[in-house]
Amino acid sequence: MKNRLDTDRLLSLGLGLLSLIALYVLFQQAAGEAGWFWPRRYLAALLLVVGSLLTHFVIFFLSPDRRRFLLSKLDEKLGRLTVPKAVGAILIALILSGTAYLVYGPYGQPFVEPIVRFWLFAQTAWVVSVLINVAHWMQGKKFLHAWALLLAGFAFNLGYFLLKVSTHPFSLDWSETSRYYYASLFFSERIYGLKAAWSPLHPSRYLLQAIPFFLHPLPLWVHRLWQVLLWVWMPAATAWLLVRRLQFQPYRRLAWLYGYLFLMIGAVYYHLLVIPALILAFYPSRKAGKWANFLFGIGYLFASIWAGISRVNWLPMPAILLVTLYLLERSVREQKLWRYLFPPFVLSLLSFLVAVLSSAAYVKLSGNPATYFTSSFTSDLIWQRLLPNPTYYTGILLPIIFVSLPALLSVLFVQRRMGIRLGWLRSFCLTGILLALFVVGIIVSAKIGGGSNLHNFDGYLVVLLILVFYCLSGDVENESQEDEQPHRSILEQVALAEGTYNHWHRLAVKGLFAWLLIAPLPFAVFQGRPVRTYAPDRVKEALDTLSSVVQKAVAENKQVLLITERHLLTFGYLPNVPLVADYEKVWLMEMAMANHREYLEKFYADLAQGRFAVIVTTQTYVSPQGDSGRFGDENRAWRKRVNRPLLCYYKPYLRFREFNFEILLPREQVHRRCR
């Protein structure tokens, strides 16, 4: 007890020092605000930090006996309640909800600074650990802090998504509402009265997002909510399907929460997670009957079809996941190599062929030229994004190494301590799969348009999580029956070294598993910014002005091109406006980055001929000012291949900076720069 209380004192000292640093940073931020009085959001944040500082100051200077007395009193008061666990759960939910709202709600500006956000995360985890302790959620204390850290990380992640549900009529970020427009194209005849080509990008994503259009018309906020549910539910379901296969009792929920946050490192996009979810749900065990094998065949077929209409680098993913599970669950032992490898080879080949046929069928049905689907192969590679850069301040390599090292080292440690023998063939194949997916992630992340996070390592992260969980749960089939050990829980595996290693070795092992535990947390804690709020009068003014200009052009039977904000047609904000399906912002950017001359020349010809009476686009600029900042290469491509030609033939009429769009009207004469 004395050591634990000393640890509590050390923890309070650390949190108190962190509170001091956060207080200093907040004072600097508040002092930079204009006016005589600090905004309420800063005052609220300062009060929280001061309260935290005083709390930890008191705890640090309390004697061990006094601290023990206060904890017992708190425990006694909670114990008088008929359902102390339920009350504890409610309090924890309130704390986590409040934290998420503070970070991503209208009062979130003070918590944009990384050190202040880290303070709030650490403070939330500490409060949650105290509540878990006094509510008697668990018998032992070894995983108390693990639960607290993961729950706090989950709150940050969930808050980031939930506060995107908004009734705001304009796009919340550069491409947010474009996604709903592309999803609506599967119902274009019903919504727009014409048959429009389907999106060449991310068909499976837009198929999932199109589901609410079966009940069209629904308001924009419903579609935003549906996308949030997809973002949260798909990784949650995938992690649960993985945990369900393994012997994680009694830590199944903790493993599920960790798996969810691990998949959010990228984050792995929800439409891609359909594939591992199907494989994990239906992959049969060695003793499975014909019915289980039949269901797996159906699920495997659907996963392969789905891969064909997803990203091109996910065409082989159903086969890769099948082979990964096969290698982990089935040993070679006395079999001949060809007999062991023949089943996964045949199934992999069939899956890849189905995926290719599915992709070809979509190309045929989409109504687009086949060359549109190869734009990613002609885009530039920006290798500087592997290292720290303005687009991703850590670069790609540092964070993926930070995630990979503890995972791989823990796999090696567990294999050695558990006596797991994979044999040279299975080890070689699993290593090859991870290495190939890692290299693909590097290349795709370097492609222009990417490199702002780790989502292009999606396949690698999924396979890495499967490998780590199989090893930690002890569910890897041993190559030799003589080497097999009794099944052990995670707790036992972490504690394996305690009886045989010296003090420093035990610290190293615990440090390794602590690193593995916290690896996903920075990606949850430091993502996103507070939701922006807009004055209702200003929103109405912008919408009314835009509607007035557009309706005037429509009344004169002239065409209106919405390069941006095209969802305003989808959801009825601009009624009775005919859809011009060409040149939507996301696809136009893709063509600009790929320098697709055929598409761009058609765009330039339409501009020169004055095809459109009104163009609604993002803010136009021709100076290279934005080329050195975040997404500088993408900004350069847009500036040179979109903005310059636009401003040759059209002139800015009205600009709404806060909503990031402007209205262009035709010039009487071509700009002198373009003659």
Q: What is the pLDDT of residues 531-565, one digit of tens each?
A: 888 889 999 999 999 999 999 999 999 999 999 99
Place of tokens 């209409």: 309
* Residue 419 to residue 111: CA distance in whole angstroms: 47
99 within 8 A of 120, measured Cβ to Cβ: yes
Picking from 530, 558, 589, the residue at the C-terminal end of a domain is 530
- Other C-beta atoms lying within 10 Å of the C-beta of residue 447: 18
Total number of domains constituting the chain: 3
The mean pLDDT value of the chain amounts to: 86
Query: Can you give the three-state secondary structure of 527-546, one letter per residue?
Result: CCCCCCCCCHHHHHHHHHHH
In a domain, 403, yes or no: yes
Q: Are 15 and 155 within one domain?
A: yes
Q: Are 520 and 549 within one domain?
A: no
Task: Tell me the whole-structure pTM to 2 decimals.
Answer: 0.92
User: DSSP E strands: which ranges in 308-377?
Assistant: none
Using pLDDT thresholds of 50, 70 and 90, give the confidence band for residue 4.
very low
Q: Are 147 and 7 within one domain?
A: yes
In a domain, 413, yes or no: yes
Picking from 102, 132, 162, the residue at the C-terminal end of a domain is 162
Strand-pair partners of 302: none
Place of tokens 């709600």: 105
Q: Are 453 and 554 within one domain?
A: no
In a domain, 609, yes or no: yes
Q: How far lies 209's CA from each of 205, 298, 371, 567, in Å? A: 6, 23, 25, 14
In a domain, 75, yes or no: yes
Q: Are 526 and 541 within one domain?
A: no
pLDDT at residue 7 in the model: 73
Q: Are 501 and 610 within one domain?
A: no
In a domain, 342, yes or no: no
In a domain, 409, yes or no: yes
* Residue 240 to residue 169: CA distance in whole angstroms: 35
Picking from 162, 195, 211, the residue at the C-terminal end of a domain is 162
In a domain, 309, yes or no: no
Q: What is the tens place of the pLDDT at every residue in 378-401? A: 788 888 989 998 888 888 999 999
Q: Are 557 and 521 within one domain?
A: no
272 within 8 A of 314, measured Cβ to Cβ: yes
What do you get for the CA distance between the two ends of the chain, in Å?
83
* Residue 334 to residue 2: CA distance in whole angstroms: 55
Strand-pair partners of 654: 663
In a domain, 78, yes or no: yes
Quick check: 3 pLDDT over 50?
Answer: no
* Full domain range(s) for residue 464: 383-530
388 within 8 A of 398, measured Cβ to Cβ: yes
Quick check: 146 pLDDT over 50?
Answer: yes
Q: What is the tens place of the pLDDT at every residue in 564-591? A: 999 999 999 999 999 999 999 999 999 9
Helices (H) and strands (E) in the chain, counts: 27, 4
643 within 8 A of 621, measured Cβ to Cβ: yes
- b (16+ CB within 10 A) / e for 227-239: bbebbbebbbbbb
Q: What tokens appear for 338 in the block?
A: 């060809």
High-pLDDT (> 70) share of the chain, %: 88
Q: Are 153 and 6 within one domain?
A: yes
Q: What is the tens place of the pLDDT at every residue in 653-669? A: 999 988 889 999 998 88
Which helix (H) or strand (E) is 664 found in, with range?
strand 661-666
Q: Are 518 and 650 within one domain?
A: no
Q: Are 416 and 519 within one domain?
A: yes
Which helix (H) or strand (E) is 348 found in, with range?
helix 337-366
pLDDT at residue 337 in the model: 86
Q: Are 154 and 15 within one domain?
A: yes
Q: Are 543 and 458 within one domain?
A: no
219 within 8 A of 161, measured Cβ to Cβ: no
